[in-house]
Structure 1
């Protein structure tokens, strides 16, 4: 692995570019206040909503896009109350429901969804944003198994349990024209090799394939997309990366990209089951739609040529 300190400050963004244009903040095509990004009358559930990207980027942007209601989930009730106050400043009419839930607990997740379902007959969008990073060494033999798998308890198991409850509630109404919309947070570390992020990156790699599996399980009735939010100056940012001083994104960039993806499922359906980075230009992605689909790009695959046909003369 290269010496991080020797790399350009924009290396995180430029090394992972898939589109010619790339952004660190909200740009006109994904402006959440434009008509094409309207989420009027829709209900969204956001996990990890008490801090970081959830509180600073995702929740505020969904409110700006006009959601009817937003359900905020995190472990800290006090922090969620503060987020609620900020969202009401954006739109006093938005309905909010703050639930203190540890998503790694099956009982708490079930109770949380019972409360959500009691209030809302239809939740159109789930954003699985909650996550932790607890890697305690860059050497495999030194990794504490309990610390290592705590990442999977939250980032994978928690995401699965939230998704499962969301889909159970959505199955009665989800159709190909009105699909249930699911966003799972991943990371560029999922496809890189970062020993100092071993636990985190492995859990986030799981999210990419998990998202593809969900999309394949419900052809057309579920829109499932994995997201890399890029580097953000939040509490989860490892000290190693913070110390290097790489350029960080505005958390609103993630929020606005998610709104663009779920506002018009027909527009973004070609990304179903795939992973993308919020820094990429959405207009360029749409322009490359045929290429992305025909070559099955933006998916996690074994880097090899497989199949018996390759051995035929």
Structure 2
């Protein structure tokens, strides 16, 4: 495995570049206060009690002018502190905080019954809640299966339960001109090979395929996009990555990117069912729209030439 400490501090960004410009902080095109990124009168549900959700995603939606933000997370007490910070951004913002373990279908169903009672039309779901609990000091044959699978309980099962509840509420109103929007946080570890992040990386790879499947299942009424937030200074960052000293992204970069994706589904339609990284320049992505769609880029695929045609002639 690479000795991470020997790599340049910007390696995480530069090694994963898809656009010429790369960012670690928010930039004008994704500024949530710009009119073209407005989400006025919209309602969003976010898993946000800490980290990127609390510091980047929820504040970005507040700045984008949403009518209401619903915060769902296990730690209800922490949600209150997030609510206080959001009220500083927009005192008129409606906020509903709900404590729920997203890996519990019963708890999530109960939470969504409260959401639906107050907000019959939730426009955006941001699947941000997640855990990283790989036993990085052990080889795969030594790891506790229950700890290994905890990543899937939250990152995969939890994502599905939240999305399922969102879709049940959204499908009656969603249309080609007013799409429901699901943004799911993934990770670049999903397409890398990191044995010390095995369980986490695998669960995040599932999130990408889940996104692709969602987009295919509801092509006329749903916008589904996976987002890699890059390297952030959060509680779930493994010690080995923190020790490497890589540069961190500002959480506002992820927040602004997600707002940009959600604000105008027609603008971001070419990314439906795909994954992108927050450091990539969205204007360059738009300029490469035809290339991305015609070559089916930014998706998880088997790297092989397939089909009987290769054996003919």
Q: Which TM-score band (shorter chain)?
A: over 0.9
1:231-275 deviation line (CA, Å, top 9, x unaligned): 000101111000110001000000000000010000000000000
Deviation at 1:121, TM superposition (A): 1.2
Uncovered stretches (5+) of structure 2, i.e. residues with no partner: none
Measure the CA separation in 1 of the matches of 2:37 and 2:121.
19
1:274 correspondence with 2:265: no
> Which residue does the alignment assign to 2:8?
8
Measure the CA separation in 1 of the matches of 2:87 and 2:61.
12
Deviation at 1:173, TM superposition (A): 0.3
1:264-305 deviation line (CA, Å, top 9, x unaligned): 000000000000000000000000000000000000000000
> Which residue does the alignment assign to 1:194?
194
> Which residue does the alignment assign to 1:130?
129
Measure the CA separation in 2 of the matches of 1:126 and 1:143.
33
Deviation at 1:220, TM superposition (A): 2.1
Q: Please give the residue correspondences for 1:168-183 in structure 2 after superposition, counting only pairs within 5 Å.
A: 168-183=168-183
1:73-105 deviation line (CA, Å, top 9, x unaligned): 111111100110000000000000000010000
> Which residue does the alignment assign to 1:115?
114
> Which residue does the alignment assign to 1:211?
211
1:47-73 deviation line (CA, Å, top 9, x unaligned): 1x1100000000001000000000001
> Which residue does the alignment assign to 1:307?
307
Q: What is the alpha-carbon root mean square deviation over aligned residues?
A: 0.6
Measure the CA separation in 2 of the matches of 1:31 and 1:77.
29
1:286 correspondence with 2:283: no
Q: Which SS does the other structure have where 2:227 is aligned?
A: strand
Measure the CA separation in 1 of the matches of 2:169 and 2:77.
28
Measure the CA separation in 2 of the matches of 1:310 and 1:7.
41
> Which residue does the alignment assign to 1:239?
239
1:8-29 deviation line (CA, Å, top 9, x unaligned): 0000000000000000000011
> Which residue does the alignment assign to 2:57?
58
TM (norm. structure 2) is 0.99
> Which residue does the alignment assign to 1:41?
41
Q: Which SS does the other structure have where 2:95 is aligned?
A: strand
Q: Please give the residue correspondences for 1:48-87 in structure 2 after superposition, counting only pairs within 5 Å.
A: 49-87=48-86
Deviation at 1:140, TM superposition (A): 1.2
Measure the CA separation in 2 of the matches of 1:83 and 1:298.
33
Uncovered stretches (5+) of structure 1, i.e. residues with no partner: none
> Which residue does the alignment assign to 2:252?
252
Q: Which SS does the other structure have where 1:162 is aligned?
A: helix
> Which residue does the alignment assign to 1:225?
225
Measure the CA separation in 1 of the matches of 2:134 and 2:236.
11
